[in-house]
A and B are shown apart, each in its own frame.
Chain A
Amino acid sequence: MNGPLELGWMQLAGAAALLLLNAGLSVALRLGLERTIAVAAVRAAAQLALLGLVLESIFGWDRWEPVAGWCFLMIVLAARAGVRRSKRRYTGIDSVGFVALAVAGGSTAWLATTVLIGVEPWWAPRYLIPLLGMILGNALTGISLGLDRCLQELDEGAERVDLALALGATRSEAARPVAAEALRAGMIPILNSMTVVGLVTIPGMMTGQLLGGVDPGTAARYQLLILFLIAAATAAGTGLAVFGSLRALFDDQHRLRRERISLR
Chain B
Amino acid sequence: MGRRVDDRWLFRGLDLSVAGGDVLVVRGPSGCGKTCLLRLLAWLDAPDEGRVTLGERGPADIGAPWWRRRVAYVPQTPPALQGTPAEFLARVGTFRTGNARRDPVGIAEGWGLPPSTWDQPWSRLSGGERQRALLALGLCGDPEVLLLDEPTSALDDEATAAVEATLSGRTAVWVTHDAAQADRVATNVLELGTP
Chain A residues near B (Cβ < 8 Å): 157, 159-160, 162-170, 173, 251, 253-256
- State the CA gap A101–B68 with chains docked (Å): 37
A163 contacts across to B, CB distance below 8 A: 75, 78-79, 81
How many residue pairs link A and B with beta carbons under 8 A? The number is: 72
B78 contacts across to A, CB distance below 8 A: 163
A254 contacts across to B, CB distance below 8 A: 63-65
A166 touches B68 (CB 8 A): yes
Residue of B nearest to A259 (CB): B45
A253 touches B43 (CB 8 A): yes
With A173-B94, A173-B96, A255-B64 already in contact, the answer to whether A165 and B44 are too (CB < 8 A) is: yes
With A157-B79, A159-B79, A160-B81 already in contact, the answer to whether A168 and B66 are too (CB < 8 A) is: yes
B92 touches A168 (CB 8 A): yes
With A253-B46, A254-B64 already in contact, the answer to whether A166 and B59 are too (CB < 8 A) is: no
B68 touches A253 (CB 8 A): no
Interface flag for B85 (CB, 8 Å): no
A253 contacts across to B, CB distance below 8 A: 43, 46, 59-60, 64
B43 contacts across to A, CB distance below 8 A: 253, 255
B151 contacts across to A, CB distance below 8 A: none
Determine the interface band of chain B, counting residues with CB < 8 A from chain A: 20 to 34
- State the CA gap A173–B97 with chains docked (Å): 10
B44 touches A166 (CB 8 A): yes
Q: Which of A164, A166, A254, A255 has the largest count of B CB atoms less than 10 A from its CB?
A: A166
B42 touches A168 (CB 8 A): no
A173 touches B64 (CB 8 A): no
B69 touches A168 (CB 8 A): yes
- State the CA gap A255–B65 with chains docked (Å): 10
Q: Which of A167, A168, A253 has the largest count of B CB atoms less than 10 A from its CB?
A: A167
A169 touches B95 (CB 8 A): yes
With A253-B59, A255-B43, A255-B45 already in contact, the answer to whether A166 and B81 are too (CB < 8 A) is: no
B45 touches A168 (CB 8 A): no
New contact pairs (20) apart from A162-B75, A163-B78, A166-B74, CB-CB < 8 Å: A159-B79, A160-B79, A163-B75, A163-B79, A164-B92, A165-B44, A165-B64, A165-B65, A166-B42, A167-B68, A167-B95, A167-B137, A167-B138, A168-B65, A168-B66, A168-B97, A170-B95, A254-B64, A254-B65, A255-B64
Q: Give the Cβ gap from B144 to chain A, nearest Cβ, in Å.
A: 13
Proximity bits, B29-61, A CB within 8 Å = 1, else 0: 000000000010011111000000000000110
Q: Give the Cβ gap from B67 to chain A, nearest Cβ, in Å.
A: 9
With A157-B79, A160-B79 already in contact, the answer to whether A170 and B65 are too (CB < 8 A) is: yes
A160 contacts across to B, CB distance below 8 A: 79-81
B75 contacts across to A, CB distance below 8 A: 159, 162-163, 166
B64 touches A167 (CB 8 A): no
A169 touches B65 (CB 8 A): yes
Q: Give the Cβ gap from A250 to chain B, nearest Cβ, in Å.
A: 10
Q: Which 6 A-B pairs have the closest CB atoms?
A: A159-B79, A168-B97, A254-B64, A168-B69, A166-B73, A160-B79
Q: Which of B44, B69, B96 has the largest count of A CB atoms less than 10 A from its CB?
A: B44
B window 109-143: CB within 8 A of A? 137-138, 141
- State the CA gap A173–B94 with chains docked (Å): 9
B window 94-110: CB within 8 A of A? 94-98
Residue of A nearest to B71 (CB): A166
List 17 interface pairs A-B (beta carbons < 8 Å), by A numbering.
Answer: A162-B75, A163-B78, A163-B81, A165-B44, A165-B65, A166-B44, A167-B68, A167-B95, A167-B138, A168-B98, A169-B92, A170-B95, A170-B97, A173-B96, A253-B60, A253-B64, A255-B46
